[in-house]
Structure 1
């Protein structure tokens, strides 16, 4: 590693912290604090008690979510609609209430030390689906004291209705979203035409440690079955998580480490079945107190009201997927996933740990009809072992509000097995990959600093050990990364301003290796650069909001792009890296508008993203030097412009009938220096970026009768003829779905049912981002049923 550059990065990180501390204590001197030292931990706390009821009937609302974003803590209402949250530091808070079938609502409360605050909350039944989808939310895994721009939050009945086999399938109907696939298992989300390493996917705010961003056949190590909700984050809040977030951030929140002590055990169970692959899946979650005591010095130390646990388990098994053209052989999936988290909660903060194990085996289809695929397909076995440790220290009467420390460890391994003609013959290993990842992150949340009212400063560091085997010749590589960042925010009555700055350094050190196929020697590389984002949003009226975002991103080439060499059978390619690649730099801009009336809700965004040195694997059309059945894909770089627009709306036709929909468009072009493009270009050009989704839309009509909701939806897409040289076009399509949802409460439990018929007419259509679209269409008619119960 270059000592000079590494030192500059550490100095930059220290500079962020120095400015924060200097400005913070300077502004803190002007404040009149209560008794107590500036850095003292919280010593006194209050209690919040309340009652949640239906605004129309007055009946108690059972199992309503009660959440305090500023503390990342919460509870649920019980049989009589009552709830209690203990050990809340003194101060003013905004409490958020959510429940399936009701509009989300918030209430401001003041907590007094050594006292109990009581509230009564009425919740109004909702017809709008988006009542469970927040546009701007005060919550994202690590920065709960700042206003995080959450483009969408998929939760509640919306999440249950969309719940699919993978995260990509679950989010496919969201605006701007598509899915890259090579069969059902390795599908991965693509947002605004950007996927892979340009779309950061997090689990409870931490990186997953898998290889899903590197190749189309690599599956994501997240099963959505036990997700509490899924956040799509853009703008300055995304820069806090990484420098390469032009596409945004997807955060799957599971709440593995409890941050609140419940008064009793809560649990939920799920069971899902579907016909298109004869699949079954199930999940179980439990969250509750740990009431125990330990002997110490001749007396007992009680941890009652201080410790909490969370446990979840999920399993999934499917057979080969059916399509209108027949069964897609070797697309079965078997996955087991389990997690356990434990935390100690006190007035001063929280300390907790969790562990997760995931084992999965899935198939990647093959056959003579799929160009360059293995004749019998490839089986992939993968597992991940994941440890997460978190500590939170609350401060009162000081400029610093909270310090969050997080450590993640991940051990990921997968191997790709060729399927021989004789099933009794052992499967040869085509490729195998292993990654050991350690990272640590520290965020200091603060109050006034210079011009801003609140924000955070932080540092992040990661050590990654990569190795490969089988027929691949990518060298073992050690990767070290470090970053410093800050996020600041200020409200001006009707105007909100957010900024984020980040500086990253990455060093890659490959094992000594020789290659006759790479154009350059395999040597160590280092990359460093700045990224940042500014967002302003203006509440023009109580119903209309206008905003704009400007983002600068920095992305270093990843190991596979620099050093890959060898056949990748499951990816239908012979991959050759480019050790001379330079860092990718991007500028992005977006203008958005939000309209919210009693009978209509709508949002629209237009955006322009330009990236210099955009890295991608290009099909050369040449056969590989080692295997004449595979084409060579050479990593290269070019200048890219992506422009697009999104529309999302809901309209209440009457008390029971709602209609809505989304429209998404993105266009990608390779451009030369100095070439100018209008915002939306309509004429055909030959320099199209490969694998761009076509213009697409989803429209629905929904009828509500109490707890019952019945609806129909249409998924539409135009023909995609703007393709790369070796890419095939896809035709337009219209696919129709039906769905129904019902819920009821009985004996302190909430029972929910979701029934869906996808592709009602068994239409044959193809996903343009599928690597096997030339041979097999998308799934045929699929009948799905999901039952979920909450206690």
Structure 2
């Protein structure tokens, strides 16, 4: 790979001017856990693949994977709390965006509520990848919007070059007066490789523009992992155990007043292997298997009315919680390239299985009774080299989904017949058979450009929450009522792109349009409720606004663009400029906007990259978001100015020290996230300086 900015992959090294040239010369390995299994290491991509590597993550100080990704084109964050923020991809979130670690399902409940944290720690990541388009079919219908995959080396897949190697990173942020650190390493004994990593962060309430702090926005997170692999000439087999715990506050509104916090813990056991036969129809056989136990508790003071008028009576209590026991497995076989009359055919077929057992406790038992989800799927990816400059990609997936749970039969109008009416649950079971397919073309053009055109049809089965919800949901401030009769959601998407990876001018631009049939959404009924259905009444005076799940057709379209231009050699480095733009528009068929859609954004900056030093300045303008959903307020735009400075010092042939200084929101502007449920109550952090040091050995 040439020493160039991988614009087709939207590599984040280009957006982080703190990285020197040597740190940006990173190529994805020929076989990647997240790369499309039919690309076979060929240059170019059928869709943009956004990546962030470890130096960028360390400098950002992000407390969640969503916070790390939120300023990338086409990406945003739910920003419900610093400790609980989920990625948004092209306006789609929650059950339409799959989160995973090293290809394993996250095994969490973050899609069930914006206040629930994904148990994926950026401090423990080597890289984060965002996969959109046809390649996401590998992961299932819950990835209809895309896949966010955190990569680390917890199950080693290659023998290290040295007997021992590792990395130690530490940082301090002024905005939260917080410290964080991480250490990871591998040691080799013959064909055996042991991996270990630990990380920790302690962030206080973050500072606001103009002074003060955002109450109850603290985050405390710890994670540990240990892995072991045997690596031979024809493959590897390994396993790992990891543990993560996070305690974080929920800022804004009543949650901040009551000191609401969530205590989350996850333990994961995982195993992975790969075998490359010397002969036969397959060039590789691989498996993944993971088992996850997740739980969290919501803790806070009692409501005033529940404590006889004294909010502190009895102190903090556990209001309820979620527990999720899940396992997932996958088997893949990559066949040897086949010569066909049209060209060389290369591909992968696979089987995947997932089982999720969700349980709620305390107050949340009323929101969602226990539910079980089972998925089994078969999928096929094929890539055909029609000519040396033209490639065709095709993929198909069929998935069987069974969801069992319980919910109540709600009366017409969704109001109780009298003030004492109680709901009685009835067991329910739904079966779905989502079918998806995609087709893509990639064409090499003169001047090192590539053009791509992809189309896909994807079906998604509704989730347990969309089918069986029946109570108050604190995260959204709503009283959710599921619809057991929901049908599959389907989307047809067409995307075209043009990119240039080499030369002094590099760019990547994509335009897409999606048509959703039966888009699943919340609809406000005009009623409001207290903690139970008996309290529901007409009007909006109650604590929770009543919503009902339904389906309507919807349309999405958008544009993403990113560019870099080298201008001149300045000293020992390269000076240049860059720019970016993204927008997404989402409307229901027949009129009306979808809620919480990120605004259009336009930005640019300058950079200078040398062998040891790297620096840059980036400006981003988020426009006003006035195209709002029903009962949603408009969001004022903002200006974001960030700067980075980094210095890399080789201590000797085996050790490299990197020091970095990053400034975020240097203009100290008030910023609100249009895609957040908390936007009217919570400001994003003010001016922040961050210092990091990293030692690799």
CA contact (8 A) 1:537 1:547 kept: yes
Q: Distance in 2 between matches of 1:137 and 1:614?
A: 37
Determine whether 1:235 maps to 2:133. Answer: yes
Instruction: Give 3-state SS (helix, strand or coil) of 1:579's partner.
Output: coil
Which residue number in structure 1 is paired with residue 375 of structure 2? 481
Which residue number in structure 2 is paired with residue 663 of structure 1? 581
Determine whether 1:309 maps to 2:194. Answer: yes
Determine whether 1:617 maps to 2:531. Answer: no
Determine whether 1:499 maps to 2:394. Answer: yes
Determine whether 1:447 maps to 2:336. Answer: yes
Which residue number in structure 2 is paired with residue 140 of structure 1? 33
Determine whether 1:178 maps to 2:76. Answer: yes
CA displacement at 1:709 relative to structure 2: 1.6
CA displacement at 1:637 relative to structure 2: 1.6
CA contact (8 A) 2:59 2:691 kept: no
Which residue number in structure 1 is paired with residue 224 of structure 2? 338
Q: Distance in 2 between matches of 1:137 and 1:571?
A: 43
Q: Distance in 1 between matches of 2:483 and 2:512?
A: 31
Q: Distance in 2 between matches of 1:255 and 1:542?
A: 37
Aligned pair in 2 of structure 1 residues 409, 362: CA closer, same or farther (>3 Å)? Answer: same
Aligned pair in 2 of structure 1 residues 631, 531: CA closer, same or farther (>3 Å)? Answer: same
Determine whether 1:458 maps to 2:350. Answer: yes
Per-residue displacement from partner, 1:214-255 (whole Å, max 9, x unpaired)? 221111111111211122222332111222433222221102
CA displacement at 1:665 relative to structure 2: 0.5
Instruction: Give 3-state SS (helix, strand or coil) of 1:616's partner.
Output: strand
Aligned pair in 2 of structure 1 residues 640, 519: CA closer, same or farther (>3 Å)? Answer: farther
Q: Distance in 1 between matches of 2:272 and 2:37?
A: 15
Which residue number in structure 2 is paired with residue 361 of structure 1? 247
Q: Which of 751, 754, 764 is matched with 2:670 structurally?
A: 764
Aligned pair in 2 of structure 1 residues 344, 495: CA closer, same or farther (>3 Å)? Answer: same
Range with greater deviation from structure 2 (224-233 or 715-724): 224-233
Aligned pair in 2 of structure 1 residues 359, 157: CA closer, same or farther (>3 Å)? Answer: closer
CA contact (8 A) 1:333 1:363 kept: yes
CA displacement at 1:138 relative to structure 2: 5.4
Q: Distance in 1 between matches of 2:547 and 2:424?
A: 14
Q: Distance in 2 between matches of 1:382 and 1:278?
A: 23
Aligned pair in 2 of structure 1 residues 377, 584: CA closer, same or farther (>3 Å)? Answer: farther
Aligned pair in 2 of structure 1 residues 426, 126: CA closer, same or farther (>3 Å)? Answer: closer
Aligned pair in 2 of structure 1 residues 413, 450: CA closer, same or farther (>3 Å)? Answer: farther
Which residue number in structure 2 is paired with residue 580 of structure 1? 485
CA displacement at 1:450 relative to structure 2: 7.7
Aligned pair in 2 of structure 1 residues 243, 757: CA closer, same or farther (>3 Å)? Answer: same
Range with greater deviation from structure 2 (687-696 or 570-579): 570-579
Q: Distance in 2 between matches of 1:99 and 1:471?
A: 42
Q: Distance in 2 between matches of 1:128 and 1:696?
A: 30
Q: Distance in 2 between matches of 1:510 and 1:565?
A: 12
CA contact (8 A) 1:138 1:145 kept: no
Determine whether 1:468 maps to 2:360. Answer: yes
Q: Which of 492, 507, 528 is matched with 2:433 structurally?
A: 528
Aligned pair in 2 of structure 1 residues 195, 716: CA closer, same or farther (>3 Å)? Answer: same
Aligned pair in 2 of structure 1 residues 554, 519: CA closer, same or farther (>3 Å)? Answer: farther
Q: Which of 687, 708, 713 is matched with 2:613 structurally?
A: 708
Aligned pair in 2 of structure 1 residues 137, 306: CA closer, same or farther (>3 Å)? Answer: closer
Per-residue displacement from partner, 1:324-344 (whole Å, max 9, x unpaired)? 263211111111111111011
CA contact (8 A) 2:403 2:430 kept: yes
CA contact (8 A) 1:594 1:603 kept: yes
Q: Distance in 1 between matches of 2:497 and 2:25?
A: 20
Q: Which of 158, 178, 187 is matched with 1:288 structurally?
A: 187
CA contact (8 A) 2:604 2:619 kept: yes
CA contact (8 A) 2:13 2:56 kept: no
Instruction: Give 3-state SS (helix, strand or coil) of 1:322's partner.
Output: coil
1:139-178 equivalent positions in 2, closer than 5 A: 139-141=32-34, 146-147=39-40, 149=45, 151-155=49-53, 157-178=55-76
Determine whether 1:273 maps to 2:190. Answer: no
CA contact (8 A) 1:270 1:786 kept: yes
Q: Distance in 2 between matches of 1:742 and 1:128?
A: 11
Aligned pair in 2 of structure 1 residues 502, 147: CA closer, same or farther (>3 Å)? Answer: same
Which residue number in structure 1 is paired with residue 152 of structure 2? 254
Instruction: Give 3-state SS (helix, strand or coil) of 2:568's partner.
Output: coil
CA displacement at 1:476 relative to structure 2: 1.3
Range with greater deviation from structure 2 (464-473 or 448-457): 448-457
CA displacement at 1:691 relative to structure 2: 0.6
Q: Which of 621, 645, 659 is matched with 2:559 structurally?
A: 645
CA RMSD of aligned residues (A): 2.7
CA displacement at 1:210 relative to structure 2: 0.5
Q: TM-score, normalised by structure 2?
A: 0.87
CA contact (8 A) 2:350 2:378 kept: yes
Q: Distance in 2 between matches of 1:698 and 1:264?
A: 45
Determine whether 1:395 maps to 2:277. Answer: yes
Which residue number in structure 1 is paired with residue 8 of structure 2? none
Which residue number in structure 2 is paired with residue 45 of structure 1? none
1:712-751 equivalent positions in 2, closer than 5 A: 712-747=617-652, 748-751=654-657
Structure 2 unmatched ranges of 5 or more? 4-10, 303-309, 415-422, 536-541
Q: Distance in 2 between matches of 1:192 and 1:338?
A: 33
CA displacement at 1:398 relative to structure 2: 2.1
Q: Distance in 2 between matches of 1:649 and 1:691?
A: 27
CA contact (8 A) 1:520 1:579 kept: no
CA contact (8 A) 2:172 2:692 kept: yes
CA contact (8 A) 2:658 2:694 kept: yes
Per-residue displacement from partner, 1:647-706 (whole Å, max 9, x unpaired)? 10011111231211210010000004xxxxxxxxxxxxx600101111112312112344
Q: Distance in 2 between matches of 1:560 and 1:784?
A: 39
Per-residue displacement from partner, 1:546-583 (whole Å, max 9, x unpaired)? 00110111111111111112222243222221111111
Per-residue displacement from partner, 1:59-106 (whole Å, max 9, x unpaired)? xxxxxxxxxxxxxxxxxxxxxxxxxxxxxxxxxxxxxxx9999xxxxx
Q: TM-score, normalised by structure 1?
A: 0.77
Determine whether 1:351 maps to 2:232. Answer: no
Q: Distance in 2 between matches of 1:604 and 1:365?
A: 37
Per-residue displacement from partner, 1:26-64 (whole Å, max 9, x unpaired)? xxxxxxxxxxxxxxxxxxxxxxxxxxxx99xxxxxxxxx
CA contact (8 A) 1:273 1:785 kept: yes
Q: Distance in 2 between matches of 1:520 and 1:582?
A: 21
Instruction: Give 3-state SS (helix, strand or coil) of 2:213's partner.
Output: strand
Q: Distance in 2 between matches of 1:486 and 1:144?
A: 10
Q: Distance in 2 between matches of 1:194 and 1:144?
A: 25
Aligned pair in 2 of structure 1 residues 195, 383: CA closer, same or farther (>3 Å)? Answer: same
CA contact (8 A) 1:267 1:790 kept: yes
Q: Distance in 2 between matches of 1:759 and 1:204?
A: 32
Range with greater deviation from structure 2 (718-727 or 138-147): 138-147
Greater CA radius of gyration, 1 or 2? 1
CA displacement at 1:163 relative to structure 2: 4.4
Q: Distance in 2 between matches of 1:316 and 1:163?
A: 10
